Amino acid sequence: MIVTNEINLRTQGDGDIIDITSKVQKHVADSGINNGIATVFVAHSTVGITTIEFEPGLVADLQKLWERLVPKNIPYDHDARWGDGNGYAHVRASLLGASLVIPFTDRKLALGTWQQIIMVDFDNRPRNRTVIVQVMGE
């Protein structure tokens, strides 16, 4: 069986990191599927998905990493072509990736105790975002 749902969120943009673990877990628990995999996917080109220990120190560390890795204040061809000023956000999102697959057993995600699912909105302004949660299994 396959069950597909959405999580709708308002983000602040600018590297906003949101813990979506409980929402994903609820979709798994409510799916009627006992064992399988949950795919978490964002259909946005300036958002990424990963896992982290969701605590303020690491959240800050991850936000600082993006500035070292993909600085805002360098020229981007995307900005030259489109003028929307978010070339860095697209590049950061591509590096992080748009999806994650998490196995679950007995309707419970197989995450570590200190491992939460986060979505990171890299865009340069607040946005409304949709996260797709597709649960597959039996």
Alpha helices in the chain (DSSP H): 21-29, 56-69, 77-82, 87-96
Q: Which is nearer to Zn ion, 27 or 44 (CB)?
A: 44
Least Å from the CB of residue 77 to Zn ion: 11
Report which residue type is found at 5. Answer: N
91 CB burial (10 A radius; 0-12, 13-18, 19+) = middle
Least Å from the CB of residue 83 to Zn ion: 9
Least Å from the CB of residue 17 to Zn ion: 20
Alpha-carbon distance of 95 to 89, in angstroms, equals: 10
Length of the chain, please? 138
What are the residues binding Zn ion (CB under 5 A)?
Answer: 84, 86
Q: Which is nearer to Zn ion, 107 or 127 (CB)?
A: 127
Q: Which is nearer to Zn ion, 73 or 113 (CB)?
A: 73
Q: Which is nearer to Zn ion, 54 or 76 (CB)?
A: 76
Sheet of strand 108-109: strand arrangement: 2-11, 127-137, 36-42, 99-105, 108-109
Least Å from the CB of residue 84 to Zn ion: 4
